Amino acid sequence: MRAPVGTLLGLTGILLLAGCVGPPGGQGGGDGSSGSGDGAGAGGREQVSCAEASSVTLDGERVAYEVVGDCAEVIVRGNGLDVRMGATTELSIEGRANEVDSGSGVGAVTIKGDDNDVEATTIASIVIAGNENDLEAETVGSVEIAGDDNGVEAGNDPQPVRVTGDGNMVERH
């Protein structure tokens, strides 16, 4: 039995309005000198290209990003972002509840937001001015914390360490 075309179009419209069906491709939100996201990549991640001499800014709400290539600077301004990336000279996080995972080394990490998680193989320096952030790396250089309830775990003893605020922890794992 065939359904009338009008019925099928009506059902499709209802599903679109209900959010059950969406347009193909990923969510937007990445921008920078290397360009913006170009659709969902593998695993439903928004891919953003970055060359060594460029900067990329990631924003939005609950977007998964895959930053392709090594960047001079990555700026995370969104909330609830899940970022996978390579190496960067500078990582700046201004948003809230973001997860950033670098399979490589990160230079200077600056966090002004709250409740962010960062994992990398190495982090040259960490400056935190937010609350409830967690960072982990095998090798960490200097650490400066001016917020509350932040944690830094390293495979070495970071030096120098300056901590103000309550409930902060810098420890070796």
DSSP element (H, E) containing 31: strand 30-32
> What residues form DSSP beta bridges with 82?
64, 99
Q: What is the pLDDT of residue 32?
A: 39
Give the whole-number percent of the chain exceeding pLDDT 90.
71
> What residues form DSSP beta bridges with 31?
57
Residue type, 46: E
**Tens digit of each residue's pLDDT (9 = 90 or more) over 153-163:** 999 999 999 99
Cα within 13 Å of Cα(163), Cβ side: 17
Give the CA radius of gyration of the chain: 20
DSSP element (H, E) containing 108: strand 105-111
Q: What is the pLDDT of residue 51?
A: 75
**Tens digit of each residue's pLDDT (9 = 90 or more) over 58-75:** 999 999 999 999 999 999
- Using CA atoms, how far residue 14 sits from 1, 18, 25, 40, in Å, is 22, 6, 20, 24
| Domain boundaries along the sequence of the chain | 24-172
Please tell me the pTM assigned to this model.
Answer: 0.76
Q: Is the pLDDT of residue 8 over 80?
A: no
Distance CA 172, CA 161 (A): 13
